[in-house]
Amino acid sequence: MPRPKTHDDALRARLLERAGELLSAEGPGALSLRRLAADVNTSTTAVYSLFGGKPALLNSVYEEAFRRFGERLTAVPQTGDPVEDVVQLGLAYRESALADPQFYLVMFSKVPDFEPSEETEEAAVQTFQPVVRDVGRAVESGVFAQEPHERIAVAMWGMVHGLVSLELNGNLPPGVEIAPVYERALRAFADGWRRR
C-alpha cells in the first residue's frame, strides 16, 4: 500500500496564503520557513519538499498573486463598448485586490535580495495586457483621443492602484465610502480620454 501524500496541493495553497499574509502584513523580515511551517502546522521539511527553499517559495507567492489577478482581469468579457470594458477592468482590479489583499500587497512590493524568475515577471506583465488591449480598442475606434495605448493604460493603472492602496492600507479619510467614489473616478477617467 503506498504512503499517503502529505505534501499535497492543499498544503501548498495554505503555505502560499500564509506567506502572502506574512509578507503583506509584517514585511519580508517576518517570513522565515520555520515560522511559516509552524503557522500552517507543518514541518520545514514540507516547505522544502514543496518549494525547494525560500527563493522558490517567494517566487511561487509572486506567481500565485499574479495568476489570481490575471485570471480575474481576463474573465472580464469584451463587449462592443471598449470604454465600458475599460471601466469594468478597473472594477475587476479592485475586486481582485479586495478578494486577495495578502497577494495584492505582495505584487507591488520588493523583497530585498529576491528577484522573481523571468517567467513570473512575464506573467506579471501579461496581467496588464487586457487594459492595453481595451484602451487600444477605444483609441482605434475613435472614442478615445489618439494617444499611445500604453500611456492611457498606465494612467488608469496609476489611478486605480492609488485608490486601492489607500483603501487596503486604511488610509482613506473617515466616513468615505470608497466603492461609489472608485467607480465614479473610473468613469471620469474614461470620459477624460474621450476624443473632443
pLDDT at 56: 93
Report which residue type is found at 85: D
Instruction: Give the model confidence (pLDDT) of 128-142 as tens digits.
Output: 999 999 999 999 999
Q: Which residue has cell 506573467?
A: 123
Per cent of the chain over pLDDT 90 is 81
CA distance 60 to 63: 5
pLDDT at 160: 96
Whether 128 contacts 160, CB under 8 Å: no
Per cent of the chain over pLDDT 70 is 96
Cα dihedral 141/145/150/155 (nearest 10)? -130
pLDDT at 6: 61
pTM of the shown model: 0.88
For residue 187 the three cell numbers come to: 468613469
**Nearest-CA neighbor of 90 among 7, 187, 196?**
187
CA distance 56 to 110: 15
More confident residue, 155 or 28: 155
Q: Which residue has cell 517567494?
A: 58
Whether 15 contacts 60, CB under 8 Å: no
Please check the confidence at residue 2 and state whether its pLDDT lies above 90: no
CA distance 72 to 93: 8
b/e per residue 1-19 (b: at least 16 CB within 10 A): eeeeeebeeebbeebbbbb
pLDDT tier at 196, thresholds 50, 70, 90: confident
CA-based end-to-end distance of the chain? 73
Average pLDDT over residues 97-113: 88
pLDDT at 1: 41
Round the average pLDDT of the chain to a whole number and report it. 91
Please check the confidence at residue 195 and state whether its pLDDT lies above 70: yes
pLDDT at 7: 65
